Amino acid sequence: MSKLEPLVQFGPWCYRASVGKLWLAVGNESTAITLEPRLQKLLNYFLLHPNQLLSKNQLIEDVWPASEGTDGAVMRAVGALRKLLKDNTQAPVFIATIPKKGYCWLAELVPLTSPKAVDATQKDSTQSTRATPELKTPSQSNRQFILLAVMSLLISCGILAYGLTHLTLGSHQPVLTRIEPVSALNGREQLPVWNPSQRSLLYQHQASGQTDWQWVLQAEQQMSPVYAPMMFKALGKPVWLGTAIYFNAIGQDDCGLYRQTVLPEFSTPERLTHCEQWLRAGLVQLNNQLYWLDKLPGHQSRFQLWRSQSAATEPGFVPEPLLDTPLPALEIHRLLVHDEALYVLAQVSFSQTQLIRIQPENGSWQVLRRYSKQLTELAELHGQLWLGQPQQPFKRLSPTGKARDSLGPLSADLTDLVFANQQILAVAGAKPISDLWFMQFVGAEPSWQRWFASNRSERLAALAEQQVAFVSNRSGHGQVWLARRDQLRQLTELDSEQQIQQLLWYRQQLVGLINSQLYQVDLGTGQLHSLLPQGTVISRVEVCRQQLYWTAFDQAAGWRLFRMAANSVEPLLDDVLDVRCADDGLLLRREQSAQLQLWYPQGGFTELTLTGFPQNISQDGLWLTNDKGIAWLEPHSATLHLQSWQGELQQIALPTEQTPVAIYSDRSGQHWLLQLNRQQDSDIVRLLPERSP
């Protein structure tokens, strides 16, 4: 069946396939819901293949754009369709789940128009050559599907309930075992926020194939979004005050703090003040006043807390600084309000994170906990703080910041958790899958191809002659893998608490920075052997002319540069937060300077000016040096800059299908790897308790 009737009825629903309009047969078309394009294409595909087993891979290939579909995206879209159709997963009428196989459309289709049909799939039917097996008659298959679906749900809920046994969000909070889609747009959604009346949801949307973001307002219990007209390069988490929102964003020119009326309709955003660095979640409100963090001008790792001097709803808007001592941080991952205080999850170095509490009445602050790994998520759920790290479930924090019981495996793929209206909202599918691409120069022009592709993330490459070490999640959480010519094998067997932060080659040995400690990784056994004295905490490592250099941050001493000399640690310079190799010296990033400095141990310092070099670098991999010169990625852009040591600048446009996030090369500059994030669908979801018996 390759054609679909223009107007059909299934169960109590009427559906016009060409425009995706759905309404109850007892009503009329004027009351129809217009499906989002992704749900329209998915429903059309189901209707074109009734009573047939449709695997997730088949749906990904035939419904989703190339490289955007994932198992999670299919599950959320099917869940959104079920919600609209008011279908019951335990006794399905429309869509049945076949455990470990896929889905099947059950309901009989009744044409409501003439035999003339329209092409509803928006794809040439010849694109799919797979044979789709026919199932049994509807009455037989329904009973089997219902039985299989019930068994699958019981098993799944049992597994999830076991993992969530210790979850306690409140004295009467039930166990959370289910995810229900809230949004279903093509592309990416993130950072959901309820409006004060709790009747509508605001979130950000990036359409498939686009790089800019816009606001979307969606009424509760509906999937009919309203789009704000203005687009931004980046949007931060908003704060509701009255009918308006406040947010920081990167517009066409630079970073700014904005105010925009949302209800009853979107107005033109009003720019209130400049910001030095855009933060994804660095703005909150407490007692009707705004608080936000911003980087201090002229500093690379110091942040000031600002407050609106008058109530944010009043016409006047005058920022005032609150902290006598600025916060030390390369990046702020989260600022939130908890128990009338402000809590900050700050990345203090390339490998360490701190949890900080600020008293807003006087600006005093204290470090509650230091973590020797990168943590990116902090949420308040029903009066308690929860902490998240990449690919790991959220964990509840004690008053001193120690991680305790887990929110369960359901939360490992979630970000942006928020508790509102007695429910938990989150974003599913936002954690990126990254690939390594091999880049080679033929003359002055580069060419690239995907290298050792998998459906898991690959990152942190270290290139040497005839071999590459890298980190991959293909066996679960991150492990070190080694590629030699066409052979690939896993080296390490690390546990989930061991986070790999950097790989490099040192005197023909593989070295790894793991939980801020430096180890040699045995190429035969994968065993770890400590290279530095016990307790040596490192931010980032560099090997120059067979010598080991590293930077480290100390709360009292600040940033410092060290070197390994005769099996002992030798301090070299203060105020150095990053180091790279140069021709005959070292290239330094200083905490109190926006300029790079060339340091020759025998000849002093020379400032190096690079046009377009990013001022705010909080993660490793955004820039490097090799024998040919300096390379860096331009923020919010698919552009690679290469400047030779002689000063010649070259700009290279990278593949735009994926987002470049890191670059790696060997010492000679002949071989390169690009780390690119796949553009995935992400959706706003609701976490729900287990159903009552």
Q: Is 503 helix (H, G, I), strand (E, B) or coil?
A: strand
**Sign (positive/negative) of CA torsion 316, 273, 230, 311?**
negative
Say which residue the tokens 């990033």 belong to.
Answer: 589
Q: Is 76 helix (H, G, I), strand (E, B) or coil?
A: helix
What is the per-residue pLDDT across 484-520, written as a single tens digit (0 to 9) for each?
877 889 999 999 889 999 999 999 999 999 999 999 9
More confidently predicted of 602 and 171? 602
| Mean pLDDT, all residues of the chain | 82
What is the per-residue pLDDT across 586-639, written as a single tens digit (0 to 9) for each?
999 998 887 889 998 777 888 888 877 877 776 778 899 999 999 998 877 778
At residue 124 the predicted structure's pLDDT band, cuts being 50, 70 and 90, is very low
Determine what percent of the chain is predicted with pLDDT higher than 90.
Answer: 40
The domains of the chain, with CATH numbers, are: 7-154 (1.10.10.10), 164-431 (2.130.10.150), 434-678 (2.120.10.30)
Instruction: Determine how β-strand 576-581 pairs with β-strand 528-530.
Output: unpaired
Q: Distance between CA atoms of 73 and 64, rounded to whole angstroms?
A: 9
What is the per-residue pLDDT across 10-49, written as a single tens digit (0 to 9) for each?
999 999 888 888 988 887 777 788 888 888 889 999 999 9
Answer yes or no: are the C-beta atoms of 664 and 673 closer than 8 Å: yes
Q: Is 157 helix (H, G, I), strand (E, B) or coil?
A: helix
What is the per-residue pLDDT across 329-366, written as a single tens digit (0 to 9) for each?
999 999 999 999 999 999 999 889 999 999 999 999 99
What is the per-residue pLDDT across 421-450, written as a single tens digit (0 to 9) for each?
677 899 988 777 888 998 887 766 778 888
Has residue 466 got a pLDDT over 70?
A: yes
CA atoms within 13 A on the CB side of 291: 24
- Other Cβ atoms within 10 Å of 461 Cβ, number: 26
Q: Is 75 helix (H, G, I), strand (E, B) or coil?
A: helix
- Other Cβ atoms within 10 Å of 374 Cβ, number: 21
pLDDT confidence of residue 128: 35
Q: What is the mean pLDDT of residues 475-482?
A: 88
C-alpha 231, offset from chain centre = 20
Strand partners, 672: 439, 665
Q: What are phi and psi of 163, to 5 degrees?
A: -70, -20
Q: Distance between CA atoms of 99 and 96, rounded to whole angstroms?
A: 9
The residue ranges of DSSP E strands in 62-194, in sequence order, are 95-98, 102-105, 110-111, 176-181, 188-194
Give 108's DSSP letter: P
Q: What are phi and psi of 45, to 5 degrees?
A: -65, -40
| CA nearest to 310, candidates 292, 294, 287 | 287
- Other Cβ atoms within 10 Å of 279 Cβ, number: 23
- The token duo for 393 is 């479930």
- Taking the CA atoms of the chain, what radius of gyration do you get in angstroms? 27
Has residue 405 got a pLDDT over 50?
A: yes
Q: What is the mean pLDDT of residues 216-241?
A: 88
Q: Distance between CA atoms of 272 and 261, rounded to whole angstroms?
A: 13
Answer yes or no: are the C-beta atoms of 205 and 227 closer than 8 Å: yes
More confidently predicted of 410 and 141? 410
Residue-by-residue DSSP string for 173-184: PPPEEEEEE---
Give 29's DSSP letter: G
Burial of 117 (0-12, 13-18, 19+ CB in 10 A): middle
